[in-house]
Amino acid sequence: MNYRWGDYDRTEAKSKYKWVYELKNKRTGDLVYLARMYSGNLEGKKMFDTERDAALAVDRFLIGKGKEPVNILKRR
């Protein structure tokens, strides 16, 4: 799905995952989830259809940077 940043507003809903935010499409009312990923001064953002997919993306980003995952994934 293609997302345009200007078409979304952040909702008041609190995600159960760290660094995951719920966004609502202004025109259609559809919900998507934003994964905001930080590591030092590096920041990345990506939208996903499900809250779980966004949480997994955050965890994969952190593992790729050599840090501990904070949401779903566990280090072996």
Domain boundaries, the chain: 5-64
**Given a cut of 90, is residue 50 above it in pLDDT?**
yes
**Given a cut of 90, is residue 21 above it in pLDDT?**
yes
pTM of the model: 0.84
Q: Which amino acid is at 34?
A: L
What pLDDT is stored for residue 58 in this prediction? Answer: 94
What pLDDT is stored for residue 44 in this prediction? Answer: 83
Give me Rg for the CA atoms of the chain.
13
Cα distance between residue 27 and residue 68, in whole Å: 38
Residue 74 three-state SS: coil
What pLDDT is stored for residue 2 in this prediction? Answer: 61
Which residue from 75, 74, 66 is spatially nearest to 40, judged by alpha carbons? 66
Mean pLDDT of the chain: 88
